[in-house]
Amino acid sequence: MLVIAWALALALVGPPTAPAAAEGRAPSVALTWHAPSGCPTESQVMGAIERLVGEAPAPGGSPAAAEATVHAVADRGYIVDLEVVVPTGKTERTAAGRTCQEVADATAVLVASLVSPDAVAASVHDPLEPVAPPPDDAPLLRHPIRGFVRVFGAASYGVLPGWGGGPGLAGGIDYGRVRFEARTFVDAPQRVTVAGTSASVSFIAWSGALVGCFVPGRGTLTFPLCLGPELAWVRGASSGFEQNRVAHRLLVDVVGGAALSYAPVKWLALRAELDGLVVLTPGRFVIDDVGQLHRIRTGGIRLGIGVELRFGHWRPRARTEAS
């Protein structure tokens, strides 16, 4: 594989306009190497070049100068921009690889090929020591970070007196198969009539949750499994009494559930989900001389369906610095 890669590199570079070496002696190379931390160092790349072309300067010639700048690029691994100046002129090249090791190897071959093609051609048949790999603790390319916003509607049971429902909104980020999501939901008002009277009490609930999700999937389908804490605020307001009253209650609960998401295109997904609630602070709404009008249950469920818009594709990039 190494011989094939070298042969391809030589074919792409092509022969120089004039020999860069004289009397069988290869010129020296002055290398300037800019690369993210964790990549092979300048001395390691220079060592690979010297094993190809040697260190002795060409008689009557000037040392070649090479400058290479490596960038980490989202979804493309690493790219190196290379500029080599030899007595016959200046040449610019670009190479890409999945890892910084690959672009370091490509840089060594390209520089050596431009400076001393005869020496490189002679060494193609000899095994070469590869550029030393980066240390084990070198930072690797991370997963891309994506954002999303989802609007949904849900049917619910457990917090208000009967089955209800309402709109919801969610948003957050995806990082590989991990999702962090904030969501809010409004349970539409429900009215309870006091038996034998025209008086009634209207209840409404709002909730907000922060959940973490594991998101396995295959192809365009994913199966988010989420769990997290939720706060809910329930309000009851009476009407038709001599003295109408308003009461509030704050609930603390845990929400967890499973969903099925289908993404026909990268930026859009359709999602159906089933969530269960465990209410840690249930309570009651009671009016003196009337009695209990509503008792919040210790558990509940939500069945939702929504549309999710996905955006962004950010990959934290290592800071480029000279080795």
Asked whether the predicted pLDDT for residue 8 surpasses 50, the reply is no
Q: Give dist(CA 313, CA 293) in Å, integer.
A: 51
Least confident of 102-106, 135-139, 178-182, 186-190: 135-139
Q: What is the pLDDT of residue 131?
A: 53
Q: How confident is the model at residue 163 (pLDDT cuts 50, 70, 90)?
A: very high
Token pair recorded at residue 182: 């904030």
CB 84 within 8 A of CB 111: yes
Q: What is the pLDDT of residue 188?
A: 94
Share of the chain above pLDDT 70, in %: 76
Asked whether the predicted pLDDT for residue 16 surpasses 50, the reply is no
Q: Exposed e or buried b for every residue in 244-256, given b needs 16+ CB within 10 A?
A: eeebebebebebb
Asked whether the predicted pLDDT for residue 24 surpasses 70, the reply is no
CB 257 within 8 A of CB 300: no
Q: What is the pLDDT of residue 135?
A: 53
CB 75 within 8 A of CB 314: no
Q: How confident is the model at residue 124 (pLDDT cuts 50, 70, 90)?
A: low
Tell me how far CA of residue 130 lies from CA of 46, 49, 109, 287, in angstroms.
12, 10, 11, 82
Fold of domain 145-314: Porin (2.40.160)
Q: What is the pLDDT of residue 3?
A: 38
The region that residue 312 occupies, defined by phi over 0 for left and psi between -120 and 50 for alpha, beta otherwise, is left
207 vs 113 pLDDT, higher one: 207
Q: How confident is the model at residue 133 (pLDDT cuts 50, 70, 90)?
A: low
CB 179 within 8 A of CB 226: yes
**pLDDT average, residue stretch 282-310:** 90
Cβ neighbours around 9 below 10 Å, total = 20
CB 261 within 8 A of CB 271: yes
Asked whether the predicted pLDDT for residue 322 surpasses 50, the reply is no
Q: How confident is the model at residue 56 (pLDDT cuts 50, 70, 90)?
A: very low
Q: Write phi, then psi, for 69 (nearest 5 degrees).
A: -125, 125
- Residue 274's SS3 state is strand
Q: Give dist(CA 309, CA 196) in Å, integer.
A: 50
Q: What is the pLDDT of residue 319?
A: 44
Listed by start position, the domains of the chain span 2-138, 145-314
Average pLDDT, the chain: 80
Asked whether the predicted pLDDT for residue 19 surpasses 60, the reply is no
**pLDDT average, residue stretch 156-184:** 94
Please give the sequence-ordered ranges of beta strands (E in DSSP) within 240-281, or none if there are none: 246-265, 268-279
Count the helix, strand and coil residues of the chain and give each as a percent rounded to the nearest 5.
15, 55, 30
Threshold 0.85, pTM exceeds: no
Token pair recorded at residue 123: 């060494």
49 vs 229 pLDDT, higher one: 229
Asked whether the predicted pLDDT for residue 15 surpasses 50, the reply is no
Q: What is the pLDDT of residues 204-258, one digit of tens each?
A: 999 999 999 999 988 889 999 999 999 999 999 988 888 888 999 999 999 999 9
Q: Give dist(CA 271, CA 250) in Å, integer.
A: 29
Share of the chain above pLDDT 90, in %: 41
Asked whether the predicted pLDDT for residue 36 surpasses 90, the reply is no
Q: What is the pLDDT of residue 128?
A: 46
Q: How confident is the model at residue 170 (pLDDT cuts 50, 70, 90)?
A: very high
Instruction: Work out the end-to-end distance of the chain between its first and last CA atoms, rounded to an integer number of angstroms.
Output: 29
CA atoms within a 13 Å half-sphere pointing along the CA-CB vector of 289: 5
